Amino acid sequence: MRTDYEHLLVQQDGGVLTVTMNRPEVLNAVSEQMLEGLGEVMEAAAQDESVRCVVLTGAGRAFGSGADLRGFASRHSQSESSGEPIQVSEGLKRYHRVVRAMRTMPKPVIAAVNGVAAGASCNLALACDLRIASEEARFIEAFARIGLVPDAGGGFFLPHLVGFSKALELAMLADEVSGAEAERLGLANKCVPIAEFEATVSKLAHRLAKGPTRAYGLMKELMNTAVTSDLETTMRVEGELQNIAFQTSDHREGVMAFLQKRPAEFTGQ
C-alpha cells in the first residue's frame, strides 16, 4: 500500500491503519491532492486483508477545517468573466469517492476527532462508522456561513444520526457543537478528555482489528441497506448475509470458544 502521499500520513500498526490528514498549518483544510489520496488509500485499505480497522484523523490541533476556500474567489471571478457557471458537482465527486469507499469498506472505520471538524471535514467524520471525540473537538456544519448546502454526504448522514429537525437546525444555524454535546446528540459515539484521547482511539481500533472482520463488513452492508429500504427488503438481505456469515471461520471459532468457555481468537476470515 502506498504511504508517500503529499497531504496524508499513512501508518499501519498490526491490523490498524491510521490515515492522518496532514496540513496542520491550515487546520487540515481539504485540498485536491488530499482528496485524491484519501480516495486511493481507502479503496486500497478495503482490499488489503492485513488491514482490519481504519482510523481517520487530523494532524495538529484540528481534524479538518473543511474545503480550502482560498481558490473560491478566483473561480467566481473566472465564472463572471466567461459567463459560464461553475459546476462544483464535478469536484464533489472526489468527496463522494472517499465517502463511498468508507461506507462500503468491509471493515470498521473510526473517525478520531481531535479538534475542529468543520464543513466537508465534519461530514467525512460523519461518514465513518464510529466517531471518538476529544473534549476539544468541535463539530460545525459550516456551509450556511458561506451560503452553501452540506456536501460530502452530510445531507444523508446528518439527519440519520440526529433526526430531521435537529439536522436542519445544525445546518441552518451552523453553530459549533462541542465534543460532549456531539456525544449527547449522537454525532459522536464517545467524548473523552484530551489526555485520554489517543489511548481510547487506539484501544478501540485494536479491539475491532481483533474482531470478526467479515461479520463487521456484513453488518455494515445490512445497516446500509436498512437506512434506505423497507422492513421486508432488510429482512431478506439479513437472511442472505447471515448465510454468508454462517460459513466464515470466525463464526465457527466463536461457537467453539463459547462452548469451551475461552476467549475467541478471530482471524478476520
Q: Are 121 and 65 in contact (CB under 8 A)?
A: yes
pLDDT, residue 67, reads 87
Residue 46 and residue 126 in one domain: yes
SS3 string, 107-128, reads CCEEEEECCEEEHHHHHHHHHC
What percentage of residues in the chain have a pLDDT greater than 70? 94
Q: Are 194 and 170 in contact (CB under 8 A)?
A: no
82 in any annotated domain: yes
**Which value, to the nearest 10 degrees, does the dihedral of the CA atoms of residues 226, 231, 234, 235 take?**
150
DSSP string, 64-121: E--B-GGGHHHHHHHHHHHTPPP-HHHHHHHHHHHHHHHHH-SS-EEEEE-SEEEHHH
Gyration radius from the chain CA atoms: 20
Mean pLDDT of 157-180: 97
pLDDT, residue 80, reads 57
Residue 165 and residue 74 in one domain: yes
**Beta strand pairing status for 130-134 and 109-113?**
parallel
pLDDT, residue 91, reads 83
Residue 14 and residue 129 in one domain: yes
pLDDT, residue 78, reads 62
pLDDT, residue 74, reads 60
pLDDT, residue 71, reads 64
48 in any annotated domain: yes
Residue 99 and residue 230 in one domain: no
Beta bridge mates, 57: 20, 112
268 in any annotated domain: no
From 1-10, 111-120, 129-138, 150-159, the region with the lowest mean pLDDT: 1-10
224 in any annotated domain: yes
Q: What is the CATH number of the domain that holds 152?
A: 3.90.226.10
Residue 80 and residue 148 in one domain: yes
Domain count, the chain: 2
pLDDT, residue 88, reads 74
189 has pLDDT over 70: yes
pLDDT, residue 90, reads 80
What percentage of residues in the chain have a pLDDT greater than 90? 88
Residue 106 and residue 177 in one domain: yes
The 10s digit of each residue's pLDDT in 228-238 is: 999 999 999 99
Mean pLDDT of 185-190: 97
Q: Which three cell numbers stand for residue 111?
A: 473517525
The 10s digit of each residue's pLDDT in 64-104 is: 999 887 766 666 556 556 666 676 778 899 999 999 999 99
Q: What is the CATH number of the domain that holds 254?
A: 1.10.12.10
Expressed as residue numbers, the domain containing 73 is 8-209
Residue 194 and residue 65 in one domain: yes
Q: Which three cell numbers stand for residue 40?
A: 486511493
Nearest-5° Cα angle at 94, 179 to 131: 20
CA atoms within 13 A on the CB side of 126: 31
The 10s digit of each residue's pLDDT in 199-244 is: 999 999 999 999 999 999 999 999 999 999 999 999 999 999 999 9
